Amino acid sequence: MKLARIPWQGHKAIPVQAAWATFLILLASGQTNAAGQDDIMSTDERIAGLLDSMTVAEKAGQMSQVNGAGGTIPDNLRASIKAGQIGSVLNEVKVETVNELQRIALQESRLGIPLLIGRDVIHGFRTVLPIPLAQAASWNPELVRKGARMAALEAAASGVNWTFAPMIDISRDPRWGRIAESLGEDPYLASVLGVAMLEGFQGGDLAAHGSIAACAKHFAGYGASESGRDYNTTNIPENELRNVYLRPFEAAVDAGVATLMASFSELNGVPASGNQFLMKQVLRDEWGFTGFVVSDWASIEQLQVHGFTANDKESAYAALSAGVNMEMASGTYASYLAELLAEGRISMAQIDDLVAAILRVKLELGLFEHPFTDPSTFPPTANEGNLALAKQAALQSIVLLENKHKVLPLAKTSIRSLAVIGPMADDAYEQLGTWIYDGDASISQTPLNAIRQFAGNDVSINYVRAMETTRSRSSEGFDAAVEAARAADAVIVFLGEESILSGEAHSRADIGLPGNQAELVDALHAAGKPVIAVILAGRPLTLHNIIDKVDAILFAWHPGTMGGPAIADILFGVESPSGKLPVTFPKMVGQVPIYYAHKNTGKPPTPETYVAIDDIPVRLPQTSSGFVSNHLDAGYEPQYPFGYGLSYAAFAYSGIEISRDQVPMGETLSVSAAVKNVGAVEAEEVVQLYVRDLVGNVTRPVRELKGFQRVRLLPGESRKTVFVLGPADLAFYGQDMRLITEPGAFQVWIGGSSKAELQAEFTVIDH
């Protein structure tokens, strides 16, 4: 048998030193014919051959992931890889180091199994896209897919072959910092966009150039953490879990996601990393998932901190028994796998099943055949196309919340001077948002620079930062800001929260504007000029204390690298805003959780029955106060509903039609309506379809999103939008936790938000 020679980027071919290692590498690649002819083996045969050759310690190694060392390879890391004690390294993005790590694994370890190189590629890599919550505001799956593909290519050029995204936790509490990473509150929207994102990362073939494995997280229920506090307890009834929180994960599994990540949190008393109901019953037995599950950072070790296990050994046993394949960061598997096996508490068959899933992903990625990365075969990062895509994503994610007296868009012909105020106007780093370890702030284009570039010599720009950060309490810069406002034709004030105020472990109890930003708005309002607020944030904010003081509000989220040019284009009317809210905005934090797909209750509030706190007479008898479900001091409506977003155009909906009034069980029907641009500018509208099942064996939400389309219309142009509803769209989990569609009456709406008024009805009947 000839020794295999494995080319390594930029170096001469290096021979493998041991014939046994050569055989195993060839076995993994399917080339085992001693006569030199290829003998193509099935993936299962290749996995079986490797498992038969592995020691228990090497199997534990495949199940262990360790943190990288920031571009270096310490002796202990080198030795561990050489000994086959590591299956994956995370947070290493220096390509030369990654290639050397792979060389050690392939050429110096006994079995020559390549490494998974993991990284949080959450919303871009060097080129940063808007945060995922902002991308969800685009309601554009194709744009989300393209963004993930761009990020995958940039990350893969650094040797990364596995990302911990998409994050598809349903998020209905804006206090939770990680809502920034989510795709919002709705299971349908999160499913569609989550699938688009994972398809962008993985492509049609995991082994294709530039494809990286996706990881749907956090399984499951993490977004329902009590009080929005990260890592906290979640209690979700099984029916709610299946009808809401598990839906995006099932969609991801159906779409072929390679891996899942267990949640930090506990679910109904059982931490996810040791939860057999989630990992075995639902994920493997019911859904047939064949990929693998990785723990979150040290979450197996933390099982004892939860009070679920007594020590690290018991934590390892609980996670292994649940079916968590790989342990991130902590080392309980490496320490106790052999001992648990010797004691008979786990079997070799269990271990082999867990390891086989890891090997399968490595084989599907083509790592045995192509373990090394040549950056020259990838497009350069932050290239012209990537920047254009980042700008388009930012453009479509910006939501116009208020536009009094049509103060926007600004016209250069009538605006001769602008005051640009605020700490978020010219901060290249803060506009990038959370989870941007690889983002390059030096390529960010800020709103201030974009406004100056657009205005040119036609408009005078006077910039005053006014506050050092969004959290500042000093009003020292207010006088200069007010002076600039008085001298300007209009004021653009950039507000919000710094990137560090959202994301993991950055939950907030008060989700109003931090610091004294509201006081800054008060001062600018008093100057008597039109005030446009542009808000950059990682979550919905309560804006009740500034709404009456500003003339327009653009919610730009954390818009990423190209946020500045996107914001400028919206401000000056190059594009009409088209973003729609993927999450409900409360009036005040006391309304949380508040979301559109709520249940009706037995005493639903109406405009006729709601009584505001200031309208209640003194000593009013208790029985006269209405007795409906609402807050006396906040009402029952949010500040801005799910799906809401204004445009510089206006859209009229009419002529809703259903293909048939009665639909036999198991068949489809179409629902259509005409949407017309009755405004003066070309613009895009997100047409939304909502359904209500009026009677079920478990109560159903008052509305559920079941379809959406982006349409671009010229002034005066009308288009018929058609949606098809099938059995799956009307199905839900009933009392027995089985997915069913019941006969009965349904209502359906088409419009521009979850408050759509154009309505029709149909009935599902038994055959």
CB-facing half-sphere around the CA of 679: CA atoms within 13 A: 19
* Residue 624, pLDDT score: 59
* Residue 625, pLDDT score: 58
* Residue 41, pLDDT score: 82
Contacts of 32 (CB under 8 A, 6+ apart): 23, 26, 39, 41
**Measured distance CA(297)–CA(306) in Å, rounded:** 15
Q: Which amino acid is at 103?
A: R
pTM as predicted: 0.95
- 607, with CB counted inside 10 A (0-12, 13-18, 19+), is exposed
Q: What does the pLDDT look like over 267-326, one tens digit per residue? A: 999 999 999 999 999 999 999 999 999 999 999 999 999 999 999 999 999 999 999 999
Structure tokens at 145: 């897919």
HEC-encoded secondary structure of 302-346: CHHHHCCCCCHHHHHHHHHHHCCCEEECCCHHHHHHHHHHHCCCC
Query: CB–CB of 676/649 below 8 Å?
Result: no
The answer to whether 296 is a known catalytic residue is: yes
Among 120, 169, 296, 569, the one annotated catalytic = 296
Query: Which of 678, 682, 703 lies closest to 757 in space, CA to CA?
Result: 703
- Strand duo 64-67 + 88-90: pairing: parallel
**DSSP conformation class of 3:** P
Q: What does the pLDDT look like over 490-515, one tens digit per residue? A: 999 999 999 999 999 999 999 999 99
Counting as low any pLDDT under 70, the low residues of the chain are 1-40, 624-626
* Residue 617, pLDDT score: 86
CATH architecture of 651-765: Sandwich (2.60)
Domain extent listing, the chain? 651-765
